[in-house]
A = this chain, B = another copy of it.
Amino acid sequence: MKTGKLYGLGIGPGDPELLTLKAHRILTTVPVIAYPTLENGKVLARAIVADFIRPEQIELPMPLPFSVARSSQPAYDVAAEKIAAHLTQGQDVAVLCEGEPMLYGSFMYLFQRLASRFPTEVVPGISSTMASAAMLGAPITFRNDVLSIMPATLDGETLRDRLAVADAAVIIKLGRHFAKVRTILAELALLDRALYIERATQPNQRIVPITELEPEEVPYWSLILIPSQTQPQ
């Protein structure tokens, strides 16, 4: 029997209208839709596309740990086998991926397990890093600029070194690392250029001046954009 095809479906940062035409077509025609359900109960990926899912489609929730520590890998083994069972039966499976599947995405752990066994197609999605620039009205990079995208979870020294040489930067996954990042930005005289946004393009998107933020209110799904200073004229 012909096996099914695995789709890694980038569904963008939150606004359902930021799905691509291609992701929408595949999402609305595949027999099986898989998505992570996190330990903290959040099922953002499914929420983004809830209006597009039809009752006759099979839903495959995959309980995954929030972090991707080494010890969490068995959960991906289980999820991969659940998906493989459908693929083996000849059913196409679309895995919902917030943002862009290949950028810090949990889909990549499934990709590593399944892409060599089944026909696989990754459909790129709008990354929240890019969408944030649009929401903030801030051009990121011009001409010869170097853009660095880095997680706030890095140690302070590495963050400082990378930020010091970046023409433009996006610092993702702020959460409880916000205070550390703010201190580093102040040291590097970057606070004036830094723009904060949380839950970009989602209904509860929030843009706040960085100096007015309380560290304890900063969620994981937030980022700081430091746009290029290059001015063409």
- Contact, CB under 8 Å: A102 / B126: no
Determine if A131 is an interface residue (Cβ-Cβ < 8 Å). yes
The segment out of A15-23, A32-40, A83-91 that lies at the interface is: A15-23
Q: Mark A140-167, 1 if CB is under 8 A from B, else 0.
A: 1111111111110110001001100110
How many copies of this chain does the complex contain? 2
- Contact, CB under 8 Å: A139 / B108: yes
CB distance from A96 to the nearest CB of B (A): 15
Chain B, residue nearest A158 (CB):
B146
Determine if A103 is an interface residue (Cβ-Cβ < 8 Å). yes
- Contact, CB under 8 Å: B124 / A232: no
- Contact, CB under 8 Å: B22 / A15: yes
Q: Interface size class for chain A?
A: 35 or more
Residues in B whose Cβ lies below 8 Å from that of A108: 139, 142
Residues in B whose Cβ lies below 8 Å from that of A22: 15, 17-18
Determine if A204 is an interface residue (Cβ-Cβ < 8 Å). no
Q: A70-B232, A102-B140, A146-B148 are in contact. Are A124 and B134 (CB under 8 A)?
A: yes
Determine if A78 is an interface residue (Cβ-Cβ < 8 Å). no
Determine if A133 is an interface residue (Cβ-Cβ < 8 Å). yes
- Contact, CB under 8 Å: A122 / B103: no
Determine if A53 is an interface residue (Cβ-Cβ < 8 Å). no
| Bound form: Cα–Cα A219–B161 in Å | 33
Residues in B whose Cβ lies below 8 Å from that of A101: 134
Name the contact of A165 in the complex, choosing from B115, B151, B161 (C-beta under 8 A): B161
Determine if A73 is an interface residue (Cβ-Cβ < 8 Å). yes
Given contacts A18-B21, A102-B134, A103-B130, 10 further A-B contacts (CB under 8 A): A20-B126, A70-B233, A104-B145, A111-B139, A124-B126, A124-B133, A144-B154, A149-B149, A161-B165, A162-B165
> Which residues of A are interface residues toward B (Cβ below 8 A)?
8, 10, 12-13, 15-22, 24-25, 68, 70, 73, 100-105, 108-109, 111-112, 115, 120, 122-127, 130-131, 133-134, 137-151, 153-154, 158, 161-162, 165-166, 232-233
Q: List 12 A-B contacts (CB under 8 A).
A: A12-B20, A17-B25, A18-B21, A68-B232, A73-B232, A100-B130, A102-B130, A109-B232, A124-B130, A144-B151, A146-B150, A147-B149
